[in-house]
Amino acid sequence: MGIVIYVAVLLFSVIMHEFAHAYAAYLRGDDTAKFAGRLTLNPIVHIELFGSIILPVSLMLLHAPILFGWAKPVPVNYAKLRNLKTDIALVSFAGPAANIAIAIFAGIGIRIIHMFPAFEQGSGGAVASVFYVMVVVNAVLLVINLVPIPPLDGSKVVTFFLPHDVARKYLSLNPFLCTLVLIALLWSGILWNIIGPIINLLVIFFSGVSLR
């Protein structure tokens, strides 16, 4: 049951993440995702078999130090954005911003349940556990997606601070190879040693409870 809850929360979170990208792009003038049918909360159109199902389940079964996954990336046509330099960063940060919003919502839920001990000792405890999973999963998604390695969102957010030529070359790095490097770093635990303390601080900030 624990695996089911984690995977369900992860699916919900990555779908909200991608929807936020699509909606932000639409607000900034790019209707590509809308016409591709991605400006929707329908999970079917967002699920990517490996990133949404196989990888997170494998990580959990192998007791990896971190649970991670992704949905099908939303198509964005940068040429349609109103202000290329600013809007690329805004659209890219919209996904992590959705994870922040989910973590805040779940964290508030945990704190409210803590205010009612009798309810928490009953069915409220199970609800608080789900909220806690939501906080942890979204803190992980937030931090990992802001790692400045293509094709993660962080690689596009940092282009706002880079000269145009440098930003263009940076974004042209092979995303497949970069993804393999990211997975290897996650699997080995090396990346966790770096981002783990950050994630723990965020979990405490959002929920008042440290990582278990």
Q: Which residues contact 74 (CB under 8 A, 6 or more apart)?
A: 18, 19, 21, 22, 25, 33, 36, 38
Q: Which of 18, 30, 87, 153 is catalytic?
A: 18
Q: How many residues does the chain have?
A: 212
User: Is 18 labeled as catalytic in the residue annotation?
Assistant: yes
- Output the 3-class SS for 80-120: HCCCHHHHHHHHHHHHHHHHHHHHHHHHHHHHHHHCCHHHH
Give exposure, 70-86, as e/b (b: 16+ Cβ within 10 Å). bbbbbebeeeebeeeee
Active site residues: 18
